[in-house]
Every structure is written in structure tokens, then in C-alpha cells.
């Protein structure tokens, strides 16, 4: 666990400031009463600036974590639930069905680190002919779960990317007023970090444990 979880710089500064100003007021060089006041105000304004910066950082992290959690809940968890020891896969283009055992199915998630790589990933998965539209048939109730995949011999690779990230630049511009590439990249990094944490937390699931994350 990180030390920042135990020690807040903001709280530490606020608690220390009265004592610091009092000590400074006793020093020979600071006998004039207005000098400690000026120093105290300078420290206070510095702490306020730190507080605002920390709150903005929390807002940025919260947005990335919300998007990552939504992708995990809406795609990865249902995907894992629908893949069993033996899974029926329906191929839409050929209108054919084939049974796969768990060991024959792989899952790859492409995670962009910039808006440019997001577009490149989208073009790759949406436009290349080798990617097939498939329905993973739930063994209990027969409901289909859509995904895209590539067949190689007896192996099926299910591949996907978080399309919800297309809304990120617009959302950031509207709510936070900036679209600088370096700033936007922080959101992508936060998304990746949160998704990797979620996958690590669910390693007890055989399918989720096998998910391959590719950063681009």
C-alpha cells in the first residue's frame, strides 16, 4: 500500500502550519510581527493550490476508472460467464456453429494509449476481413453474446477494444476545458491501470486470468 494512503501532504501541511509560524516568530530575524503573517499566508495559499490540483487529479482518475469499470462489467465479465468448459460458437457470416473447449479460446484486449492509436485499433478490428462476427451461446439459456474473433486452425481468438473511449476527448474538452495530447494520455493510462487492476482482482476466474492485454 502506498505511503500517500496514510499521509496526506495537505493534512500534514495544515497541521504543521500554526507551529511553523509560531517558531518562525521567535527567531531573531523575524521579530517584526507582520513577517510571520506573510509567511503563514504564503504557506496557506500554497496548500490551497495543492488542494485544487489534487482534486482535479482525482476527477481525472475517477473518469478513467468509471470507463474502465463499465467496460469490465459490460463486456469482460459477461464474456467470461458465457465461456464454459465446452462453448458453442455461432459464426454469423457463414451461418455455421462449432463447439470449442476452453483451452481453444483466447481473449485479447487492445488498449489505446492515445486517440490516434484508438482510431488505428478501431480500423484494424472493424475493417479487416479475417475478423468474424460471432455469437457465444450461453450454455444455460441459449442467449447469444456478440463478439469478434479470428479462427486459426482449431483455435479461436476473441479480440476487442473499449469503444467507449471514443467519447473521452469530447468529454474532457466539455468538462475540463483541455484537449492537450499529453493530458488526454493520462486518461488512457488511468483506464489501462484500472482495467489491469480489475483483471488482477478476478484472477480466480479461468477466462479472465487468460485475458491478454495489448497496449498500443
**Could you give the 3-state DSSP secondary structure of residue 210?**
coil
CA distances from 204 to 198, 199, 200, 210 (A): 12, 10, 9, 10
Supply φ then ψ for residue 172, to 5 degrees. -60, -45
Mean per-residue pLDDT, 53-67: 67
Give residue 36's pLDDT band: very low, low, confident or very high (50, 70, 90).
low
CA atoms of 195 and 69, how far apart (whole Å):
7
pLDDT tens-digit readout, 140-184? 889 999 999 999 999 999 999 999 888 777 766 656 555 566 677
Q: Does the pTM of the predicted model rise above 0.75?
A: no
pLDDT tens-digit readout, 92-148? 999 999 999 999 999 999 999 988 899 999 998 888 888 999 999 998 889 999 999
Q: What is the pLDDT of residue 1?
A: 42
Q: Are the CB atoms for 52 and 178 separated by under 8 Å?
A: no
CA distances from 163 to 57, 104, 118, 157, 167 (A): 24, 26, 8, 19, 8
Q: What is the pLDDT of residue 105?
A: 96
Q: Are the CB atoms for 114 and 165 separated by under 8 Å?
A: no
pLDDT tens-digit readout, 65-107? 888 999 999 999 999 999 989 999 999 999 999 999 999 999 9
Mean per-residue pLDDT, 44-60: 54
Supply φ then ψ for residue 87, to 5 degrees. -125, 135
> Residue 59's Cα: distance from chain center in Å?
13
Amino acid at each position: 500500500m502506498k505511503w500517500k494512503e496514510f499521509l496526506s501532504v495537505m493534512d500534514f501541511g495544515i497541521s504543521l502550519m500554526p507551529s511553523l509560524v509560531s517558531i518562525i516568530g521567535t527567531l531573531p530575524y523575524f521579530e517584526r510581527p507582520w513577517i510571520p503573517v506573510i509567511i503563514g499566508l504564503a504557506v496557506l495559499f500554497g496548500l490551497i493550490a495543492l488542494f485544487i490540483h489534487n482534486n482535479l487529479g482525482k476527477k481525472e482518475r475517477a473518469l478513467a476508472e468509471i470507463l474502465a469499470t463499465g467496460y469490465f462489467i459490460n463486456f469482460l465479465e459477461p464474456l467470461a460467464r458465457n465461456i464454459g468448459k465446452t462453448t458453442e460458437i455461432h459464426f454469423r457470416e457463414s451461418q455455421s456453429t462449432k463447439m470449442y473447449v476452453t483451452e481453444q479460446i483466447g481473449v485479447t484486449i487492445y488498449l489505446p494509449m492515445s486517440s490516434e492509436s484508438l482510431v488505428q485499433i478501431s480500423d484494424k478490428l472493424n475493417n479487416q476481413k479475417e475478423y468474424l462476427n460471432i455469437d457465444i451461446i450461453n450454455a444455460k439459456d441459449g442467449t447469444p453474446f456478440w463478439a469478434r474473433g479470428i479462427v486459426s486452425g482449431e483455435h479461436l481468438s476473441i479480440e476487442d477494444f473499449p469503444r467507449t473511449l471514443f467519447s473521452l476527448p469530447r468529454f474532457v474538452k466539455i468538462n475540463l476545458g483541455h484537449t492537450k495530447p499529453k493530458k488526454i494520455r493520462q486518461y488512457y493510462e488511468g483506464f489501462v491501470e484500472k482495467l489491469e487492476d480489475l483483471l488482477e482482482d478476478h484472477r480466480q476466474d479461468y477466462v479472465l486470468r487468460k485475458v491478454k492485454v495489448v497496449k498500443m
